[in-house]
Structure 1
Amino acid sequence: MRFALSEDQVLLQDSLAKALAELAPLERVRRFADDNEPCAGDIWAGLAELGLPGLLIDEAHGGLGLGLIEAALAAEALGRTVAPTPFLGSAVLAPLALKLAGSAEQQARWLPSLAAGEITAGVAIAEPIAGARDGAGVDAVAGRLTGRALFAVGAEGADLLVVADRTGGLHLAESAEATAPMRTIDATRRLTEISFKATPAEPLASNGALERLRDAAWVMLAADTVGAAGAMLGKAVGYAQERRQFGRVIGSFQAVKHLCAEMAAEIEPARALVWYAAYAFDHAPDEAPLMAAHAKAHTSEIGRFVARTATEVHGGIGITDLLGLHYWFKRIGLNRQLFGGPERVRETAARLQGLAA
């Protein structure tokens, strides 16, 4: 049995890496972060030419019909460049919600446009997954939504919203009473607070789809963290090979070698864990929730370790805006908390294994 990526998956990785090098260099990411753009439309349009918005959408609706392992590879590439895109909401969670719980009419209405990148979708499902805060939560009564949803991904300027109510039911909405950007440490990704006031919405089937969306979100965030951590390691190694102290490059010092080796030793097993969690989502559904929880919790911890250690290798310049290392550092930090911090995710894993009340 061959435990490795297929030729097509490797080609997907290479194609995305080349495209993102042109579409989302650090200068473009910095401009997005500094100018508070709601969406980097040029980057998403370029990725749409590669078919990225339709990655998980079946061919009958104009997509590529691939699986979560391919989506994880894409998320890792996006994390490596900290590219500002609506990928998580518009290309992963919204299509999955429609695939898992949408009617044939809803799928036919929305999936082709999502696959083509003609529209984008935002997803507001944080409260029933990670717990409500500040009185947030959405109620659904007679086809209308009322309440507030926090930490919505990809919702600013979106044409479609996938919303979870307090009970875990999913709904499609085309509008909201009001939206407001939420400031977080990560300037490369926009989160939104959405207010609903008797807003018309279409219900999706109640069949456990929210748990599947949770698992997919955890795997995507874990993959994004692995990509960002890998980029920080690469930058630390590159800096250690150039920076000189006492007439020698600092990479020749044993202490610096150990720091870089420790980062690599943490990242590589985590990548394998994420890949298996993505594989399990499609091919081993009984294992998928636990694997997704392990991937999210573990990468949250190793991501923080790599972010701190890579910054330490850089010394004082590591915390400057000029270098830009902080974009990866903060991306990892938000990934750690979004849709549940490691402590909450581990609690879910314990329940799944019958280890907690």
Structure 2
Amino acid sequence: MRFALSEDQTLLQDSLKRALGDLSPLERVRKFADGGEATAPDVWAGLSELGLPGLLVPEEHGGLGLGLLEAALAAEALGRVVAPTPFLGSAVLAPLALKLAGTDEQKRAWLPKLAAGEVTAGAAISEPIAGARDGAGVSAEGGKLTGKALFALDAVDAGLLVVADRSGGLHLATGADGTEALPGIDATRRLSELTFKGRAAEALASNQALERLRDAAWVMLAADTLGACQAMLDKAVEYAKERKQFGRTIGSFQAVKHLCAEMAAELEPTRALVWYAAYAFDNAPDEAPLMAAHAKAHTSEIGRFIARTATEVHGGIGMTDLLGLHYWFKRIGQNRQLLGGPEKVREIAARMQGLAA
């Protein structure tokens, strides 16, 4: 049995790392965050040339036909540079929703466009997963959607929306009657509040597809956090090798060594957990829901520890905008809460195992 990435998976990692170094350097991330751009079309166009939007789209619809592990590797690479892209909605959740519950006609209509990057997709699935807030929730009746969805992912300028109603049903809509930006701590990812006032929508098959989308989203958020954590650890180690105090690099002090070693020791088994959760999604479906929950909850906790500790290694400069460390810090913090914080996810995991009512 092989407990490592394949040659093709390693090549995917390396290719994305090189491409993202040019497509989404810190200067581009800062411009997006500070400039109030709705989207970063240049970044997405560059990734589309590499075929990233079609990772999960079957080959017969113009995609690469790969699995969630490959998507998790891509999410990890994107998190490592906090890239401002609609990857989660366009390349993961929408293709999966169509594959799991779409009709042949719906697949033919949307999957080729998603695979080519011609259309971006958003997902409004938070309420039935993490619980409704402020009276939010969408009702579906007679092929029309009514209500409000909060924390919609990648919905800004999206040509397709995957919307979950209060009962857990999924629907495809080409837009909302109202889209309002929601403030969030992570300026590299846009969250939206969507309002529906009898908006026409196409229902997807009711076959527990929402639970599968939830599991995939949890794994993707965990992988994104994993990449952001690795970046923060790398930056902390690099800084410790260069910064001098009392005539010595601070990395030579035992206390700083311990901080870096502890971050590395916490992160490495987390990587194995996230990768296995992604693998289980396609290859061990009975294990997949619980593994996805473990990955999301555990990575959220480890992420908070690494974000704090890496900042401490940098000292006062770690909090400055000039260094930019806060972009990774905030990405980790937002990933922690999206689609359920660790406490909520553990509660769901307990119900899966019959440990809670």
Report TM bin, short chain.
over 0.9
Q: Which runs of 5+ in 1 are unaligned?
A: none
1:148-190 residue CA offsets vs partner (Å, 9 max, x unmatched): 0000011000000000000000000012111011110000100
Alignment of 1:112-127 (within 5 A): 112-127=112-127
What is the distance in 2 between the residues matched to 1:261 and 1:136?
44
Aligned to 2:255: 255
1:109-146 residue CA offsets vs partner (Å, 9 max, x unmatched): 00000000001011000000000000000000100000
Aligned to 2:176: 176
Aligned to 2:266: 266
What is the distance in 2 between the residues matched to 1:90 and 1:161?
9
Alignment of 1:57-68 (within 5 A): 57-68=57-68
Report the 3-state secondary structure (helix = DSSP H, G, I; strand = E; otherwise coil) of the residue aligned with 1:211. Answer: helix
Matched residues, number: 357
Q: Which runs of 5+ in 2 are unaligned?
A: none
Aligned to 2:282: 282
Aligned to 1:310: 310
Aligned to 2:92: 92
Q: CA deviation at 1:16?
A: 0.1
Q: Does 1:153 align with 2:139?
A: no
Q: CA deviation at 1:102?
A: 0.3
Aligned to 2:32: 32
What is the distance in 1 between the residues matched to 2:199 and 2:281?
33
Alignment of 1:17-56 (within 5 A): 17-56=17-56
TM-score normalized with structure 1 length = 1.00
Amino acid at match of 2:54: G
Aligned to 1:103: 103
Q: CA deviation at 1:356?
A: 1.2
Aligned to 2:296: 296
What is the distance in 2 between the residues matched to 1:171 and 1:356?
30
Aligned to 1:225: 225
Amino acid at match of 1:328: W
1:302-336 residue CA offsets vs partner (Å, 9 max, x unmatched): 00000000000000000000000000000000000
Report the 3-state secondary structure (helix = DSSP H, G, I; strand = E; otherwise coil) of the residue aligned with 1:355. Answer: coil
Q: CA deviation at 1:354?
A: 1.5
Q: CA deviation at 1:352?
A: 1.2
Aligned to 1:328: 328
TM-score normalized with structure 2 length = 1.00
Q: CA deviation at 1:65?
A: 0.1
What is the distance in 2 between the residues matched to 1:122 and 1:300?
23
Q: Does 1:339 align with 2:339?
A: yes
Aligned to 1:140: 140
What is the distance in 1 between the residues matched to 2:244 and 2:308?
21
What is the distance in 2 between the residues matched to 1:43 and 1:168?
33
What is the distance in 2 between the residues matched to 1:204 and 1:136?
21
1:202-241 residue CA offsets vs partner (Å, 9 max, x unmatched): 0000000000000000000000000000000000000000
Aligned to 2:164: 164
What is the distance in 2 between the residues matched to 1:231 and 1:89?
23
Q: CA deviation at 1:292?
A: 0.1
Report the 3-state secondary structure (helix = DSSP H, G, I; strand = E; otherwise coil) of the residue aligned with 1:323. Answer: coil
Aligned to 1:197: 197
Report the 3-state secondary structure (helix = DSSP H, G, I; strand = E; otherwise coil) of the residue aligned with 1:241. Answer: helix
* 4+ runs deviating over 2 angstroms: none
Aligned to 2:73: 73
What percent identity do the matched residue pairs reach? 79
Amino acid at match of 2:92: V
What is the distance in 2 between the residues matched to 1:270 and 1:199?
42
Amino acid at match of 2:26: L
What is the distance in 1 between the residues matched to 2:80 and 2:239?
17
What is the distance in 2 between the residues matched to 1:105 and 1:158?
20
Amino acid at match of 2:151: F
